[in-house]
Structure 1
């Protein structure tokens, strides 16, 4: 496993780099050696945040943790990713393509209990109305939802607005 470590508002000291490589390196048992883990360390006042993204075969494994100590955040994020891998192993790995994946054969062949089966409990159909992203955010707030699907009046494509941490909003739109 290789690492790309970036610091925002923090210098990535040799100690931090070693801590990231040691802790996140524990995940090497799941991945092939050419897998890249992208790590971003960010400090904002007393908030020490680590974000880890690991692209694997068309999917992205992502976790972030925030604490008042960067080393604690590093410890926590490794546990989160390991739980994700074990929980969603059957959904992440297609046994038919094991040779071509980023995962090690031992991980693919191992058995993990899938504690929580993914179930869709409710399906809703609606006719999305053309509107601007800002209007979609207002509509989302009025409905009390965390996201809202709409047709963007500027692009005529289906978009999604969603609430982010810190009372901000995000917009998801297709590339084409």
Structure 2
């Protein structure tokens, strides 16, 4: 795998680069040698954040973790990536499609069921037409981190969500 490691509000020392590369090399068994891995290390206030992006054919595996120090964040993101890769592998096996980016050893490896993916609650509710600002207010009143609504102007479904920086985001279909 090829690594592109960049930093935001942090100097990427040789030691930090080496630790990140060594830890991520655990994932090399799952990929071909030409896979490009993008790693962004950043510091926001006292939190150390790592974002890892692995582009695959037809999808992108991405994980982001934060911790009090960068080394702990790197360990956390490796665990998340391995779980995502196993889920992706299950999806490929279930669809009987193998895109060639995983090595044969990974395709034949045993995997465990991911117990964290069970739907534990289902809810139906009427979707009201409103604008994004009204949806944000409704979301805040309910204390949720996202809210689904029908855009008054386009009549399409849309989602507003609260970002980590405290701002709001809007997701709408093309």
Indicate yes or no: 2:81 matched with 1:103: no
Deviation string 1:128-153 (CA, Å, 9 cap, x unpaired) is 33322221111112233332112234
Which residue number in structure 2 is paired with residue 40 of structure 1?
A: 40
TM superposition score normalised by structure 1: 0.81
Question: Relative to 1, partners in 2 of residues 1:34 and 1:145: Cα closer, same or farther, differing over 3 Å?
Answer: same
CA distance in 2, matches of 1:122, 1:69: 35
CA distance in 1, matches of 2:122, 2:76: 34
Which residue number in structure 1 is paired with residue 85 of structure 2?
A: 85
Q: Secondary structure at the match of 2:97?
A: helix
Task: List gaps (5 residues or longer) in structure 1.
Answer: none
CA distance in 2, matches of 1:65, 1:157: 33
Give, in angstroms, the shift of residue 92 of structure 1: 5.1
TM superposition score normalised by structure 2: 0.82
1:51·1:64 contact (CA, 8 Å) conserved in 2?
yes
Task: List gaps (5 residues or longer) in structure 2.
Answer: none
CA distance in 2, matches of 1:101, 1:134: 45
Which residue number in structure 2 is paired with residue 136 of structure 1?
A: 135
Q: Secondary structure at the match of 1:79?
A: helix
